[in-house]
Chains A and B, each alone.
Chain A
Amino acid sequence: MKIDQDHSRFRDIVRGRIRQNLRGYISQGEMIARKGKDRVSIPIPEIDVPRFIHGSRQGGGVGQGEGKPGDPVSGGAPQEGPGGRKAGEGTADHALEVDVTLDELADILGEELELPAIENRGESRIPSEREKYTGIRRTGPESLRHFKRTYREALRRSIAAGSYDPARPIVVPQHDDKRFRSFKASTEPAANAVILYMMDVSGSMGDEQKEIVRIESFWLDTWLRKHYRGLESRYIIHDAVAREVDRDTFFHTRESGGTMISSAYRLAAELIDAHYAAEEWNIYPFHFSDGDNWSMDDTLACIEQLRRRLLPRVNQFAYGQVESPYGSGQFIKDLREHLGKDERVVTSEIRDKDGIVGSIKEFLGKGR
């Protein structure tokens, strides 16, 4: 259609706007609403052609209906008036909701933060199944009927039966002539990846800290999903002990115990051992904590775990330290001291929501 070109120009503008405001969206996670499996809806400032127009609210207008002076006008904000503007043209606080796919969103994120593409380390040996409508069958639902094939069969049959008259070329398909599209499952090797989210849920991690982790994980997911079709996520929470949980529990659990980070690392290593062979999987552990570990001994145990069991198998190990009023923040220093030179280790300090953008860039900036 002719409109397609104009529509894609408009989408370009929308993308530009999203990009302009991306940092705002990242630090205010609630603005982006999930819509279905792979789409999100984002409010952007209305795109409009500026003109000399009247300021909106001073004017008022004429309405129709019951009520006496001083009553609120029912039915929401009234229209601008019959001679006025079209819907959606005018009021200042009118935001435009636009839908974008997660893929597009990842592209925008990549462009804005100048993220390098990830080089695929896995061996792409995990088979993944895809269904394609390539086959033809003799049975199937009417909605999948292949008109051309059906017609051809009918034509062939009627010629063979001698009932075809070129002067009156009427071909009536019979039941046996019908052909239907059918899908074939084809297996393709695909690069698979797993994200292991680990979070400290001890008492010192408050709601705001968790919110930061939630927002950040959304963007990490989005970016990695763009590069790996089969992306899995596993969630581990820990205080003094670690356990694997589902996503919902992950973001809503609050414990009060102490903190032993090594428990989480141990569990992560066990998960990898059990399910994710390093040569087939791209593995991304992300650990978030306020950096207040129980003891120096445990910290040393962590580093031992990392060196020996985690780092050799993962693409990158990321540690994000969320600042909290209670945490000492010592852990990141220890990590840097012991593993600072290892390029598989990325550490990032996240002060508040505005710090999320920077830490996403630090985490994903290496292209590993």
Chain B
Amino acid sequence: MTGVTAAYSLSPRIPRYLRAEQERIERVAREYGLEFFPVLFEMVTYDQMNEIAAYGGFPNRYPHWRFGMDYERLSRSTEYGLSKIYELVINNNPAVAYLLEGNSVTDQKLVMCHVLGHVDFFRNNFTFRATDLDAPGRLVDPMRGQTESYDPDRRWIDKLANHGSIVRRLIDRHGVDKIETFVDTCLSLDNLVDPWLPFVSRTRPSEPQADDVPAPVEVPRFRAKEYMEGFINPEEYLVEQRRKLEAAEARDRGRFPLDPVADVLGFLVEHAPLERWERAILEIVREEAYYFLPQAQTKIMNEGWASYWHSRLMTERVCDATEILDYADNNAAVLATSPGQLNPYKLGVELFRDIEDRWNRGHFGREWEECDDLEEKRSWNNRLGLGREKLFEVRRLYNDVTFIDEFLTPEFAIRHKLFTFEWSNRADRFEIQSREFRKVKEKLLYQLTNRGNPFVDVVDSNHDNRGELLLRHRHEGVDLRADYARETLAALVRVWKRPVCLRTVVEGKPVILRFDGKEHSSRVES
């Protein structure tokens, strides 16, 4: 641990009594079964906290104005007493977490417990395997690191600091305006990533070599005895099929990529005609986007898990009697639900508690599902005691989407008064739409899928045989925000250096939006 500390030159500067608390809390947490990376706590002032938070937790990032904007927003809201950041922890090995100077000891303990929950989640949840820098190749085994000795390379602090110095060097060479504009351009595209990319090993069988003669098309036939062949696979049918397949192949031969690519950023890094410095920046933005992806995919779970553990650790082992009120006060503030709104911390922690309870009492499985007797269900208790085991399994194998999909139950939705709301044009306000479980769940899942982002893929890099890039938006009921879509197309044109088209749906009609570098146009597709 000391060696690691030295390598990071981020020696934990916390007072001795907190250091003692940290050791005690870590010991307790291990007894409960949490497995976390070493954690370096650092004590910072409000100002430093705001600065680090503006940089997304990293003390060294590439320079960009949006960090300054976030900083202004954060420091304004601390100034006005609207909010303050209690804790900040980075998915890094060793993990780095910041404590706010001037917080009470109870608060610091609370933060430490909370942070250990997060770090345990970083280490064990499968989505975060994608941030292992030493993962073999592109294929990351989601189950990697079941063992206790799992100690991946996640030196992201170093990596992001390196990105910072690369960008700074580029700024020295090319001027700040040019670089900043291009960073802006790349950031416009940083949600066009494929969350499953790190886990996909499937690649297409290699294409036939650059022969001019395409391989003959094989028409699949049904298996038939010889004398039945003419009936089961009639000749004219085979000819027609061959024609169709050949036509499709001729069309596909010109098309690249063959299958839609969700990793738009990756596609651009590889195939856009970029200068070296441009490619360097695009790659940096892409890498960081993929780094932050798991956190976006597991927001509810991650916060829920950390909150679950801070409350267990604090109330069962860490707090003494004098502190418990302070703790409860703070905890209530963190988990408060303002009327009508859904607090992800709260939703997560309640779901985890519900899972624990259900698996302790056997509220799962076929027998439970098929039971129609409400009275029996109410008093159902098999005393299985599987809750804890299940909890740890869930934190390892799920992300927000699968978590909600599997563990949100009608009983839970009723108990927590969940509803869906919708914008009412008539009343000019958001209105409660329904309390039907199916709709609540559907809506929640819908919001979480792809982190609330629209699905956009690269479909063709030589659209209309003019070297234009064609993207496809998979419309799922909600239109894109039009002004942003136009500006994003413009950003794509700056990267692709040729006109870019987006196939989408606007007000129920299929439309192709196109930007050629000068003018935006939209054409309704027939």
Contact = CB atoms under 8 A, between A and B. Distances in A.
A60 B430 CA distance: 8
A58 B340 contact: no
Question: Size range of the interface on A?
Answer: 35 or more
B453 A53 contact: yes
Interface in A41-60: 47, 49-60
Interface in B321-376: 337-344, 347
Given A60-B433, A61-B447, A65-B417, A10 B427 contact: no
Contact of B478 (A58, A66, A83): A58
Interface in B443-457: 443-444, 446-449, 451-454, 456
A31 interface: no
Interface string B26-50: 0000000000000000000001101
B72 interface: yes
Contacts of B47: 1
Contacts of B494: none
B54 to A, nearest CB: 6
A78 interface: yes
Given A50-B484, A74-B340, A64 B451 contact: no
Nearest to B446: A59
Given A62-B440, A64-B341, A80-B452, A8 B431 contact: no
A10 B65 contact: yes
B418 interface: yes
Nearest to B338: A75
A73 B453 contact: no
Interface in B55-91: 55, 59-60, 63-69, 71-73
B342 A72 contact: no
Interface stretch (B144-152, B186-194, B276-284): B186-194
A53 B48 CA distance: 32
Interface residues of B, number: 81
Contacts of B268: none
A3 B484 contact: no
Nearest to A81: B447
B255 interface: no
A65 B63 contact: no
Nearest to A13: B65
A83 B400 CA distance: 8
Interface stretch (A84-92, A185-193, A210-218, A325-333): A84-92
A240 to B, nearest CB: 50
Interface string B178-190: 0010001001111
A88 B72 CA distance: 13
A74 B69 CA distance: 30
Nearest to B401: A83
A47 B73 CA distance: 12
The residue among A7, A54, A66, A83 with the most chain B CB atoms within 10 A of its own CB is A83
Contacts of A54: 452-454, 478-481
A173 to B, nearest CB: 25
Interface stretch (B6-14, B197-205, B485-493): B485-493
Given A55-B481, A78-B340, A9 B435 contact: no
B342 A81 contact: yes
A72 B339 contact: no
A10 B421 contact: no
Given A7-B72, A67-B419, A2 B189 contact: no
13 contacts: A1-B51, A2-B55, A6-B54, A10-B71, A50-B483, A52-B473, A52-B484, A60-B430, A61-B420, A64-B418, A65-B417, A69-B435, A78-B421
Which 6 residue pairs across A and B have the least CB separation, nearest first? A10-B68, A6-B68, A50-B487, A7-B68, A60-B422, A83-B448
Interface of A: 1-3, 5-13, 47, 49-75, 77-85, 88, 92
Given A58-B479, A61-B421, 10 more contacts: A3-B54, A7-B71, A9-B65, A11-B68, A54-B454, A60-B420, A69-B432, A73-B429, A80-B447, A82-B344
